[in-house]
């Protein structure tokens, strides 16, 4: 089971609400990025964030806070709140967020989800199904729609959605235990990854979610109130469920002169998304680029056309933050897993490999 420690943001601060009520606010920190760093130190492999102001106003409000969180950790971050347009999604992904959670728009215009998946890929689009008494709530949980949670989840599956965050609003922030029965129903009926949200209060709650075969659980108030110790929960529920498994070059203490270089004195670098392993691009490094990459944690290459050092994203803002580096058996190719901000390709496509040549159906 995957654990998702939560950071809810209001006015740039880390807060928790009771049952989604904006007048029932507890502030836990005015530096949410420090909370994110502590989650990573405790072994978290994914962080869940919500722009509460954005959810209420229908637009991103806490972008700078979200960006600071993303830049402070080396694990993927998902974010919901205020995402209503394709441009909103791009803006959030450009912050370095890995997955965008869409709630209200999925109810109002299901075809929007299909468009989002086609443009950004299913691994980057998550639908938030938030329910009161089984009926889906929208607009920061201020309104209740006429759709049931199950009907919306099934419709989203048909649109190509792979992951849903299901929140029982009556449980949120109450430390009263999650709605395991309804969450399991969604998981069993849709067959896709369902992340349970709302009410986690103790390790037993996580055990119930795990035993029900549910993909993941978001933990919020229970962490801040020390009802659940994240380090213990990760050790118990996420052993063997690692996003990144590699022997980095830095840890291996391998120097550049040990590599087998091409005739130009360069080594090719295959670049992959650090969660999905999608191949993003191919580039080259000389010794200076390799050394700078290790020192800064930002992918740096040697541009053969310009014959100069090239920090990926320096002009476009589409940086690549290193998660791991590996060398192949012949020591002549590096595999880099990165957190890609925005598009990897200069054409604006996420991957440089967007043109299909041939598919064999066997």
Active site amino acids: 8, 130
Q: Which two tokens stand for residue 125?
A: 């689009």
Neighbouring-strand partners of residue 3: 217
Query: Is residue 30 packed enough to be buried (19+ CB in 10 Å), middle (13-18) or exposed (0-12)?
Result: exposed
Nearest CA-CA partner of 93 in 318, 322, 323:
318
Nearest CA-CA partner of 95 in 9, 21, 169, 175:
9
Buried b (16+ CB within 10 A) or exposed e, 287-317: bebbebbeeebbbbbbeeeeeeebbbbeeee
Residue 357 φ/ψ, nearest 5 degrees: -100, -45
CA angle (265 as vertex; 331, 346 as ends), nearest 5: 90
Round to whole Å and give the CA distance between 80 and 51: 6
**CA distances to 2, 40, 43, 101 from 80, in Å:** 18, 20, 22, 4
Round to whole Å and give the CA distance between 50 and 62: 9
| Terminal alpha carbon distance of the chain | 33
Round to whole Å and give the CA distance between 227 and 234: 14
What SS3 state is found at 37? helix
């Amino acid at each position: 089971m995957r654990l998702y420690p939560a950071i809810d943001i209001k006015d740039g601060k880390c807060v928790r609400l009771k049952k989604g009520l904006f007048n029932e606010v507890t502030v836990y920190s005015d530096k949410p990025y420090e909370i994110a760093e502590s989650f990573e130190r405790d072994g978290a492999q994914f962080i869940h964030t919500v722009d509460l102001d954005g959810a209420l106003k229908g637009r991103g409000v806490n972008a700078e806070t979200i960006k600071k969180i993303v830049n402070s950790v080396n694990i993927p971050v998902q974010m919901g709140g205020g995402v209503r347009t394709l441009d909103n999604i791009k803006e959030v992904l450009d912050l370095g967020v890995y997955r965008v959670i869409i709630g209200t728009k999925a109810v109002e215009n299901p075809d929007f989800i299909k468009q989002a998946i086609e443009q950004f890929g299913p691994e980057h689009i998550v639908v938030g199904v938030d329910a009161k008494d089984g009926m889906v709530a929208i607009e920061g949980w201020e309104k209740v729609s006429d759709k049931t949670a199950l009907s919306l989840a099934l419709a989203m599956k048909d649109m190509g959605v792979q992951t849903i965050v299901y929140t029982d609003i009556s449980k949120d922030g109450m430390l009263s235990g999650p709605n395991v029965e309804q969450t399991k129903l969604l998981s069993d009926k849709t067959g896709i990854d369902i992340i349970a949200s709302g009410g986690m209060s103790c390790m037993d709650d996580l055990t119930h979610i795990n035993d029900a075969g549910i993909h993941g659980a978001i933990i919020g108030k229970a962490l801040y109130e020390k009802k659940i110790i994240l380090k213990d929960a990760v050790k118990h529920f996420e052993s063997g469920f690692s996003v990144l498994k590699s022997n980095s070059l830095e840890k291996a203490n391998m120097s550049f002169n040990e590599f087998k270089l091409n005739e130009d004195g360069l080594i090719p670098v295959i670049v992959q998304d650090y969660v999905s392993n999608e191949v993003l691009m191919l580039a080259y490094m000389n010794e200076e680029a390799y050394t700078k990459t290790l020192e800064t944690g930002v992918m740096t290459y040697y541009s053969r056309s310009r014959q100069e050092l090239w920090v990926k994203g320096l002009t476009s803002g589409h940086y690549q933050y290193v998660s791991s580096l590996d060398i192949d058996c012949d020591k002549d190719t590096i595999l880099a897993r990165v957190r890609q901000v925005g598009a990897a390709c200069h054409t604006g496509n996420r991957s440089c490999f967007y043109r299909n040549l041939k598919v064999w159906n066997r």
